[in-house]
Structure 1
Amino acid sequence: MQLHALSSLLLSTSAVAALLASAPAQGTYTTFGSGCPSGVCESSNPSGGTHTLVQNSNIFALRVPPSSNLRVVTGFELFTGLNSTTTPLTITTEIYGADSAGAPTGAPLATGNMVIFGGAAWYKTTFTTPLIVQPNAVIFLSYGSVASQMYFPIVSTGALASHFWHAPTATTWNGSPPLGFQTQRWAWKLNCGSGGAPLLSNTGVPTLGTTFSVDLSSAPANAGAIFAIGVSNTAWGSIGLPFDLSVLNAPGCNLYVSLEFQFLVTTTAAGGYSFSLSIPNDSRLKGFHFYNQYGVGSPTANPFGVAFSNAGDGQIN
């Protein structure tokens, strides 16, 4: 009986081994390097526009939708400008968290100052200590009001965005949670540090006769981007890789792949993109390596105006 059981086990083991040997080998895909911050990780009407409303004395909280990613918030920007004065204004800036119903609540999570010194433009506040915002958390951007001396950060055309408000002497926010009021086209940008770097990942692997995708997330919304496919991660012509892009005024950014093939794409409203690659069922491609990286347009990321993702290394099998 023992010999029969052992023989059956050996036969079944051999059958499994033969089955595995006959199965098609899978390709591989690994990521390497690190991206550099895009600067803006969320926004509302990021192109700005024309102001139509002069600021009143009320206090407003502008809702920032939740993100599935952890965010390292360094500050925010408002599209505003001086109205009845030429003297620079300094206003307080704050970020609030949300209660269980989704309304702004409690003491500010971060505070800073914003100087408004001219006409219609983006004006920035930067926090001394970055604020860590956990995935799926709602936050609110708020600012001290200077009645009649500045414009509301509201533009005449664009998408409506959510807000709450209270009078200067009150503390209770007006608006029905979770969205409050959606009556104005607020223009704001949430600035992030390392948590806002574009992230390259993959769905599936490059196997002969199949399709997989190289994915992008945590990028600026509705932004122009380049998806690169290269054949090397050590050199692009006479340029050694990785190449430090500080010389192009993009400090902290690196080019990791050669740029033999470049594709212009546009990120989604959520700051993502998926580039699908179909691998021909051609055995001559087996073992071939290729490399990928995204570059995303982001005027606030650095003087060069582009934020870069980490990179990917694919091997076809």
Structure 2
Amino acid sequence: MTEFIGTGVALITPFNADLSIDFDALERLVEYNIENGTDYLVISGTTGESVTVTPEEKKELIAFISKVNKGRLPIVLGIGGNNTLTVLEEIRTTDFTGIDGILSVTPYYSKPTQEGIYQHFKAIAEVSPKPIILYNVPGRTASNMTPETTLRLAKDFENIVAVKEAGNNVHQYLELLRSKPKGFLVLSGDDDLALGVALAGGSGVISVIGQALPKEFSEMIRLGIARKAKEAYDIHFKLMPITGLIFSENNPSGIKAVLSALNISKPAVRLPLVEATDNLKTKIAAELKVLGKS
């Protein structure tokens, strides 16, 4: 699964002031990432505000991004939820033209056991026509998929090819890297830990900040995968302040504030999220100036 090695970006869904989708901004964002070194695109994840995008809008986003992309980068589509039967039905009825993989989050709110998580993904693996990237983000789902469960799934299903691990848990990353089967990809879902994961043997990242600073962030990850620690950390240290800022209130309000400052899209988000505060926007603008981006 070499198409998922490197830097994937969890694309925002840009909105106009009236909260309709801003397709002009989305085209700018996709082109900006293609031109500046991003390795693949991820649609309809948390950062894309998937929970407040309607099924009809999701289809429009898939078709539009695929049209703009023109096959230049691999595309991963988020399909997940806490109703297994609904997830299976979405997979069965989705047009996967132009889509290279599925990103599927562990069931949220319901707090299943590890066996429940295993059975959920087993059902998905049995119907999915595309490779699957598991997505573990216990801070949002209220349940942690343990390394044992992840590795069990990796060994039992050939089309489960990777995990996006976003528990901000270094030990869990290392256990996955230590014990994973050959060819299984461990991807960081934590921007602040992504370089360390790459240096330890990870295959890259699905990043939030990467879509705003694709040239720098993707180069950092390439250097990390190549075990060029000094050069990679030189970039990491420069990006640390803004990486911290974008998550200081909520995601994706922070990254949308960055993209607004870069004149790519507007800062609008849909309720229950609210825009970044003026204080955060001021800090972001100052940090972009330090980075030579304004």
Instruction: Give the TM-score category using the shorter length.
Output: under 0.3
Higher strand share: 1
Hey, which of these two has a bigger chunk of helix by percent? Answer: 2
TM-score with structure 2 setting the length: 0.25
Which protein, 1 or 2, shows the higher relative CO under an 8 Å CA cutoff with sep ≥ 6? 1
What TM-score does the superposition give when structure 1 sets the normalisation length?
A: 0.23
